[in-house]
């Protein structure tokens, strides 16, 4: 029996954006939804978006509800699955359109994060490649020359020549540092979610935690607006956002606010209990229209996305400066490793000539 769970892992925002746009377009046409989805899947390049469309189209053609089909997909986005599980979910064209706009903001942040980290990452891997090449070809010849002259290897040569056991453990530090930094940045660029890297030393050094905090708040406020627009009450929307919105740092705060609302505590007091929701409480208007609340939430989400983008700009600038400094230090140390042997030869030659 299939497990009725929704994966907690977030699919890449680009694929989710394509799939949501397909759903939005499907509801605007006159073609049966199952047929439209299968035709769209056949025209898309291979990937998760095409797979989701095909599975949803096939499931609906078999008479299953969209929410039942989506909940059976272990790699499906939780927010979209939750939205479509609301009665009439596929008919919420405005909500799907709002989710598309929300995904566009998340996609842009994702691209900007990768852009900010790409250049320093390439610099590190080029440094690693150069280190490997000189250890394979140049340094062995230099070490052999010193061995023939019955002289010890110069200090800076020992720093980089990791291929010779004679230089261990001195030669481990710099190559290991370069490789560690290159792997860490590659993980951040392609594999590890930013919130995981933000808790590690590298993430703390570049201030990634501030980006993660702003990005999460923007995403949660946008998701909260979506559930409110889909017809959920504020307490229900808070619970659904905490459960399906990928909340980590602010999950407990959203749940506490929902509990207080369900206990009859006024919204202004219930929302003021935590730092993330406090700005919403300060602007609360009793008996206000839900549309005003939704609009305010979207404004706050956009403000947090702008803040996250600003942090990315700082990270990109910092990464460029650090990358240039790193290149300068590596080049300096390599130059010292290259030229110190010649200075040593010159010194030995001068000393012999004087006898």
Choose the final residue of a domain: 43, 59, 91: 91
Average pLDDT per 10 consecutive residues for the chain, totaling 355 residues:
36 75 73 82 85 87 82 78 71 71 77 77 82 80 70 72 80 83 79 62 68 86 88 89 85 91 87 82 62 86 87 75 72 70 59 40
Tokens 């800076």 identify what position? 156
Q: Does residue 69 share a domain with residue 101?
A: no
Choose the final residue of a domain: 45, 73, 91: 91
First to last CA, the chain: 91
Q: Give the domain range for residue 36.
A: 13-91
**Sequence-distant (≥ 6) Cβ neighbours of residue 315 within 8 angstroms:** 116, 117, 206, 207, 208, 211
Q: What is the CA radius of gyration of the chain?
A: 29
Q: Is 229 within a domain?
A: yes
Q: Does residue 321 share a domain with residue 283?
A: yes
Q: Does residue 69 share a domain with residue 110?
A: no
How is residue 241 written in tokens? 């956002």
Task: Please give the tally of structural domains in the chain.
Answer: 2
Q: Does residue 235 share a domain with residue 128?
A: yes
Q: Is 212 within a domain?
A: yes
The per-residue pLDDT for 2 is 35
Residue 173 Rama label (left phi>0; alpha psi -120 to 50; beta):
alpha
Q: Does residue 102 share a domain with residue 34?
A: no
Q: Is 286 within a domain?
A: yes
The per-residue pLDDT for 350 is 45
Q: Does residue 112 share a domain with residue 61?
A: no
Q: Does residue 284 share a domain with residue 254?
A: yes
Q: Is 164 within a domain?
A: yes
Choose the final residue of a domain: 69, 91, 113: 91
Q: Does residue 134 share a domain with residue 67?
A: no
**Sequence-distant (≥ 6) Cβ neighbours of residue 91 within 8 angstroms:** 27
Q: Does residue 349 share a domain with residue 252?
A: yes
Q: Is 4 within a domain?
A: no
List, as one string, the DSSP characters of 211-269: HHHHHHHHHHHHHHHHHHHTT--HHHHHHHHHHHS--STTHHHHHHHHHHHHTT--HHH
For residue 249, with 0-12 CB atoms within 10 Å meaning exposed, 13-18 middle and 19 or more buried, which class applies? Answer: middle
Please name which of 113, 102, 82, 106 lies closest in space to residue 13, comparing C-alpha atoms. Answer: 106
Q: Is 139 within a domain?
A: yes
Q: Is 308 within a domain?
A: yes
Q: Is 5 within a domain?
A: no
In contact, 274 and 250? CB cutoff 8 Å: yes
Q: Does residue 234 share a domain with residue 125?
A: yes
What pTM did the predictor assign? Answer: 0.68
CA distance 331 to 334: 5
Q: Where are the alpha helices (DSSP H) in the chain?
A: 13-26, 33-43, 48-61, 66-71, 78-85, 93-136, 138-148, 155-160, 173-186, 194-198, 201-205, 208-229, 234-244, 251-262, 267-271, 278-282, 290-353
Q: Does residue 127 share a domain with residue 81?
A: no
In contact, 109 and 195? CB cutoff 8 Å: no
Q: Does residue 61 share a domain with residue 110?
A: no
């Amino acid at each position: 029996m299939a497990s009725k769970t929704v994966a907690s892992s977030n699919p890449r925002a680009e694929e989710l954006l394509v799939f949501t746009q397909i759903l939005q377009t499907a509801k605007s046409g006159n073609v049966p939804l199952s047929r439209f989805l299968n035709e769209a899947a056949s025209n898309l390049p291979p990937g998760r978006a095409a797979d989701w469309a095909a599975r949803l189209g096939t499931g609906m053609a078999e008479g299953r509800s969209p929410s039942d089909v989506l909940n059976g997909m272990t790699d499906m986005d939780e927010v979209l699955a939750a939205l479509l599980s609301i009665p009439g979910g596929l008919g919420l064209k405005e909500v799907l359109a709002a989710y598309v706009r929300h995904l566009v903001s998340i996609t842009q942040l994702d691209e900007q994060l990768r852009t900010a980290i790409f250049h320093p990452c390439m610099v590190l891997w080029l440094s690693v490649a150069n280190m490997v090449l000189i250890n394979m070809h140049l340094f062995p010849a230099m070490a052999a020359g010193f061995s023939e002259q019955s002289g010890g290897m110069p200090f800076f040569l020992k720093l980089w020549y990791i291929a010779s056991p004679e230089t261990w453990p001195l030669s481990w530090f710099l190559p290991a540092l370069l490789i560690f930094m290159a792997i860490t940045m590659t993980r951040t660029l392609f594999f590890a979610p930013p919130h995981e890297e933000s808790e590690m030393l590298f993430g703390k050094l570049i201030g990634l935690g501030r980006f993660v905090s702003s990005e999460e708040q923007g995403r949660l406020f946008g998701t909260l607006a979506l559930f409110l627009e889909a017809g959920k009450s504020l307490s229900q929307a808070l619970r659904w956002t905490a459960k399906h919105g990928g909340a980590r740092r602010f999950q407990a705060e959203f749940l506490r606010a929902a509990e207080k609302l369900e206990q009859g505590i006024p919204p202004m007091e219930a929302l003021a209990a935590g730092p993330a929701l406090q700005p919403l409480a300060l602007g609360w208007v009793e008996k206000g229209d839900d549309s005003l609340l939704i609009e305010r939430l979207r404004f706050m989400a956009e403000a947090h996305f702008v803040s996250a983008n600003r942090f990315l700009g700082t990270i990109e600038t910092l990464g460029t400066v650090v990358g240039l400094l790193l290149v300068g230090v590596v080049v300096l140390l390599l130059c010292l490793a290259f030229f110190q042997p010649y200075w040593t030869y010159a010194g030995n030659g001068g000393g012999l000539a004087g006898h």
